Copies of this chain bind each other. A is one copy, B any other.
Amino acid sequence: MFKPHHNHAKCTAKLISRAEEACEQRGSRLTDQRKDVLASIAESHVAVGAYEIIERMAARGPRPAPITVYRVLDFLLEHNLVHKIESRNAFVACACVHDNATPTLLICESCGVVDEIMQPLANENLQNAASANGFKINRTVIELSGTCQACANV
């Protein structure tokens, strides 16, 4: 189904080291468990459900309880190290650097790969529209489902 078009080991390593940095900066601890969960999610760029994370972890060690994984997910979400795909109840490791801006998620319905792109113009439009309606944005979700380039070319 999914074939990485890049050196994924390198990709994961980079992600973990960025996560370590981010936690250090914020004075929070990236514990082994948290690193494990993050690594499980980062196994691919495909969105993964919480219970699939449990399976992946069970394959390499003791099976964590759901609450354990959800607790870690909360931590990782707060630290912007993973994103929740709301339209799928699934998670992906954050693939790009975005300070406070909201990424647009491109979700392939065929292979499941989730790509992140920064779209400052769209964010600005939405911010303006919200303001015009007297609405104060706390959180923005932009998810586009469809067909990725790789799958379109098959």
Chain A interface residues toward B at CB < 8 A: 86-87, 104, 106, 108-109, 115, 117, 119, 121-122, 125-126, 129-130, 133-149, 152
Contacts and interface: CB of A to CB of B under 8 A. Distances in A.
Given A134-B149, A137-B144, A141-B143, 16 more contacts: A86-B86, A104-B126, A104-B129, A106-B130, A108-B135, A117-B129, A117-B133, A119-B125, A119-B129, A133-B149, A135-B149, A136-B147, A137-B145, A137-B146, A139-B144, A141-B141
A54 B148 CA distance: 38
Identical copies in the complex? 2
B141 A147 contact: no
Contacts of A87: 86, 139, 141
B146 A130 contact: yes
A86 B125 contact: no
Given A86-B86, A87-B86, A152-B134, A139 B145 contact: yes
A138 B146 contact: yes
A121 B132 CA distance: 14
A133 B106 contact: yes
B119 A135 contact: no
A152 to B, nearest CB: 6
A142 B115 contact: no
A146 B136 contact: yes
Given A122-B122, A125-B122, A129-B117, A147 B152 contact: no
